[in-house]
Structure 1
C-alpha cells in the first residue's frame, strides 16, 4: 500500500470488474440477490461498482495483516509436502476442464453452484502454471503452506465481517443456496462460508497477475 500506492489504487478499479464477474456467474445460479428501494440501472451500477471496488484491497490488506502473526508461520511451514506431477500437462487439462465446467452453471445450477468459487481459482492457477509462473502449489513441495492458507484465512475473515455488516442493514443481500440453506450465521448459511476460502486465494492470484506480489512471510514485510 505504501511502497506502490499507484498499484494499490489500481486494485480498486480491478476489484470492481473482478466482482462483477461473479455477479455474472450468479446470474446463472441465483445464489444471492439484493433488496432495497428501486433505483435506476445507472445508479445501481455506480453504487455497486463503488462497493465492489473495496473487495480486493480489503482481502489483500488482511493477508498482509495476518502475515504479521509469527505463530501462523510456525504452524504452516515445515508441513506436509505436496508435489504436482507433470505440472504443465495437468495445468492444461485443469484449464480446459474448469473452463468447460463453468458452462454447467446454466444447465445444472442447483448442483453445480460450488463451481462459481472453485472453477475460477483453477483457471487462474492453470494460467500461472502454463505461463511459467510460480503457483500456490509450487511452494507446497517445500512444505510451505502459507501462500495457500493465509489468503484463504483472509478471505474467510473478510467474509465474516461483510456478512456481519450486511445483517440487519437497510439494503441487504440475501441467499438462496440449494441443499445447505440452513444453520445461518447472519444471512449466510454456515456451509456457505466455505466459499470465502477459495475466494481469498483468487484475490491474491488476481493481484499476482497485476504484478503485485502478496507476501506471506514476515521477513518480506
Structure 2
C-alpha cells in the first residue's frame, strides 16, 4: 500500500518545481527543505509499498534521530569547508537575520542523511543488486583495519591543512576512520559486507548517494538560495553548478554517512538492537 504522506511528498515537489518559475515568497527562499522533505515522504511511501514497512511508518524514533544527526553532520562539514573553501552560498538576502539563517540551514541539513538512506533503502527493496556478490569471502585482519583508520586520520588532516591539493580526501576520511571501528565492534559496516561477499548495501548506498547528488545539483541550479563551487584543478565542464568530476564524490559520501551514522547510533540504540538497518 502506498502511504498517503507519499501524495503530500509528490505535491510538495510539484509546487516547488512550479515555483522555480513563479518565485513566490517565502516558498522560493525555503525551497530546499520543502522539496527534500517532499522527496523523503515520497520515497518512504514507495519503500512501504514495496516491502510493507519503512523508516517513517515503523521506526519513527530512530527516524527523528536520523534527522537530528543529519543536521549535526552537515554543520560539521560546513565547519570543515571553512578550511576547504570549496562551496559558498548566494542569494541568502531573503533570510533576514543570522538566527533565521541558522534555522534555515539546520532544517535543510536535516534532510541529507534521510534522503540518502531512503534512496538506498528503496533501491535495496527492488532487489536489483542482490545477485551481485564477490566471488569469494575475504579475511580482514586487524592490521588492515587499523591501517584504514590511520589513513582516514591522514586524509582528514591533509584535506584540512593542504586543501588546494587534498580537498577530495574529506569525502573518504570519515569512512576510513569509522567503518573499521564499526567492523571491530560488530556494527553494520561496509567492511563487513565486503568480507561476507555481500554488495547489495554498498552498491545501494553508492548509487543512492549519487542519485541524491544529482538531484541536489539539479534543484540547486534553479533556486533563489543556492550554492556555487570553487574547486581547484577540476573546475571545468559544469553539470548545473557542479564540475562533472565532482559527482564522483557522492558515491563515497554515501559510505561515509553510513559509517558515521552507525558509529554514533550504536551508542544510543545498541542495547535494544534497534538500529535503523539499511
Could you say which TM-score interval applies, normalised by the shorter chain?
0.7 to 0.9
SS in structure 2 of the partner of residue 110 of structure 1: helix
8 Å contact kept, 1:59–1:200: yes
Q: Give 1:106's aligned residue.
A: 160
Matched, 1:8 2:63: yes
Question: 1:82 offset after TM fit, Å?
Answer: 5.6
8 Å contact kept, 1:156–1:197: yes
Structure 2 unaligned segments of length 5 or more: list them: 1-54, 270-274
Matched, 1:190 2:253: no
Give the TM-score taking structure 2 as reference length: 0.71
SS in structure 1 of the partner of residue 208 of structure 2: helix
Q: Give 1:64's aligned residue.
A: 121
Change (3 A) 1:184 1:37: same
Superposed counterparts of 1:10-89, under 5 Å: 10-38=65-93, 39-74=96-131, 76-77=132-133, 79-81=134-136, 83-86=138-141, 88-89=142-143
Question: 1:84 offset after TM fit, Å?
Answer: 4.8
> Aligned residues, how many?
212
SS in structure 1 of the partner of residue 128 of structure 2: helix
Q: Give 2:14's aligned residue.
A: none
Distance 2:233 2:239 in 1: 16
Q: Which has the larger radius of gyration?
A: 2
Structure 1 unaligned segments of length 5 or more: list them: 216-221
Change (3 A) 1:110 1:50: same
- Per-residue Cα deviation, 1:142-169 (whole angstroms, up to 9, x for no partner): 3221121111111001111111110021
Matched, 1:162 2:242: no
Change (3 A) 1:142 1:126: closer
Change (3 A) 1:80 1:168: same
- Per-residue Cα deviation, 1:108-167 (whole angstroms, up to 9, x for no partner): 111110111011111121221333435212232332211211111110011111111100
Distance 1:81 1:35 in 2: 50
Matched, 1:178 2:232: yes
Change (3 A) 1:84 1:44: farther
Change (3 A) 1:143 1:37: closer
Question: 1:53 offset after TM fit, Å?
Answer: 0.4
Distance 1:36 1:122 in 2: 35
Higher relative contact order (CA 8 A, sep 6+): 1
**CA RMSD across the alignment:** 1.8
Structure 1 segments (4+ residues) deviating >6 Å: none
8 Å contact kept, 2:202–2:255: yes
Judging by fraction of residues, say which structure has more helix: 2
Question: 1:98 offset after TM fit, Å?
Answer: 1.6
